Structure formats: structure tokens, C-alpha cells
Amino acid sequence: MTTNYDEWLDEEIAVPDLAPNPDRTPEAVPQLKGRTVIHAVEHLIYANLNRPDTVILLHVSVLNPVGMVLTTQDYVRLYANDRLRGETGQENFVLTFLEALFQHKTVLFIGYGLEELETLEYVISKARQIRERTSREANHYLLQGFFSHEHEVMRSLRQYYKAECGIHLLPFLRDMKEMLK
């Protein structure tokens, strides 16, 4: 699942057959394997999380520019709480889908930072509700890079994300090729 709009995940580069075969000539261009792409809100159902070779574009796709989530109003509308939408009996498929995702799946966030906590707010509140309801730790991780001079920032963020969000920070050094201890 991604919040990106692009088509980069729509196809997978097939793993070539590395077994020696004298009758076969090597392919100059790698073969691409198509994936099922889901970007319509009405298709955000839990069953689609278990479909193999599927990518879910939460903020729609460049293939549907009219539906893309770009503005603050778009985000508010997409993540609107069911009660606040003013539509009796209307379910917000996005919130239902995300609740199932964060309750039943291990999640690794890549490319999120503290400056994007507005986007993570829903995740954070749901993770807290799950912990309180089930007394189990959510399997949510955040991969984030830091420069070596940001060690104290990393340490503070690790404590914050763990205590307040139930998210395990997985730091890596941006200026060296080793993990921060």
C-alpha cells in the first residue's frame, strides 16, 4: 500500500531464471510482471490486503487525476470521521479499511517524518485504541534516516513514537552505512 500517485509499483520486474540453458539466449530487457492496482475508494476492503501481487494506492493514481488526493480539503474528505461527514448510515471505507489494516497487519512506514504527523494521526489513534482494547503491542514500524549529529533527536523521537504512537522507530544513518545503536 502506498500514498504515492505514481505507477512505479504497478509492475514487478520478474526474477530471471538463472539456471544454465545453452538453448536460451539472454533477454536484453527484463520482463515485467503486472500487478493488480486498486485505487478506487470503494475497493478498499480487507480482502484486498490478502490478494497476491496487488498494490493499493490510497490517495488514488495518476491514471485518475480527477480523484487524486492533493489538497487539504481532499485529505479532510478522505479521512473524515463517519460521524463528522453528516451522512447518516454512510461508512467511510477508508477509515474502515485502515482500521482493519492496522489491527491485523504488520506495517512499515517508509518516508514519514514528524512533519507528517497529521497524516499519521489516524494511525496513531487506532494503534492506541488497539493496544487499550487488546493489551497487545501493534506491529507498526517507521524507517527513518538521521545524520550522526542528530543522535539526540533520533533518541527522543524513538521514545516519543514508542510511548505516544505505539510505533517502533527503525533509525539508520544517512551519512554512514551502519545502524544507529
Read off the pLDDT of residues 97-144 as tens digits, 9 standing for 90 and up.
888 887 788 877 776 654 555 556 666 666 566 666 666 665 788 888
Say what the pLDDT of residue 149 is. 92
- C-alpha dihedral, 163 to 168 to 169 to 172, nearest 10°: 150
Flag residues of the chain having pLDDT under 50.
114, 180
Q: Please report, for the chain, how many H helices and E strands are present, in that order.
A: 4, 7
Select from 74, 105, 136 the last residue of a domain: 105
Instruction: For residue 10, give the nearest of 43, 42, 26, 32 by alpha carbon.
Output: 32
Do 72 and 111 share a structural domain? no
Quote the pTM value: 0.62
**168 within 8 A of 162, measured Cβ to Cβ:** yes
Sign of the alpha-carbon torsion through 128, 145, 57, 119: positive
In whole angstroms, how far apart are CA 59 and each of 22, 71, 94, 140, 151?
Answer: 47, 11, 10, 20, 33
- Full residue range of the structural domain in which residue 97 is found: 1-105
Number of compact structural domains in the chain: 2
| SS3 call for 145 | strand
Statement to judge: residues 87 and 119 lie in one domain: no
pLDDT of residue 128: 64
Together in a domain, 120 and 56: no
Indicate if 181 and 137 belong to the same structural domain: yes
